[in-house]
Amino acid sequence: QVQLVESGGGSVQTGGSLRLSCTGTGDLIRNAHDMAWFRQGPGKEREGLAAIGSDGISRYADSLRDRFTISLDDAKTTLYLQMNRLKPEDTAMYYCAARTSIGRWFGWPSRESYDTWGQGTQVAVSS
């Protein structure tokens, strides 16, 4: 059963922008201990991009903090990822992830810290 759904992906030229959205069933996002965005390009490992805790504090991969912004709406029903000045190397499947249970914390940006995942939304950046 799908609990997280991403949207907002698509094709864009280098230098363009996209805003990804993630919605959850019920109060999943509001009750989550931590929410994050990951991506996985062709032939590459899944990497953490940004995360935001229940305290509202966000964190980013060092190489992306100047271009990507993670946020939640006021009702905490939707997670966003604003992506600016996109590059071809940003081409990947982008995933929304949630930490909903109290278990071992593997830290950021370890994907093992998150127990619930969306199906992904594709982003393609062309020259």
pLDDT tens, residue by residue, 19-60:
999 999 999 999 999 999 999 999 999 999 999 999 999 999
Residue 84 CA to residue 122 CA, distance in Å, equals 16
Assess whether the previous peptide bond of 88 is cis (omega < 30° from 0): no
> Looking at residue 38, what is its pLDDT?
98
Tens of pLDDT, residue by residue over 98-107, are 999 988 889 8
pLDDT exceeds cutoff 80 at 74: yes
pLDDT exceeds cutoff 90 at 1: no
Residue 32 CA to residue 17 CA, distance in Å, equals 27
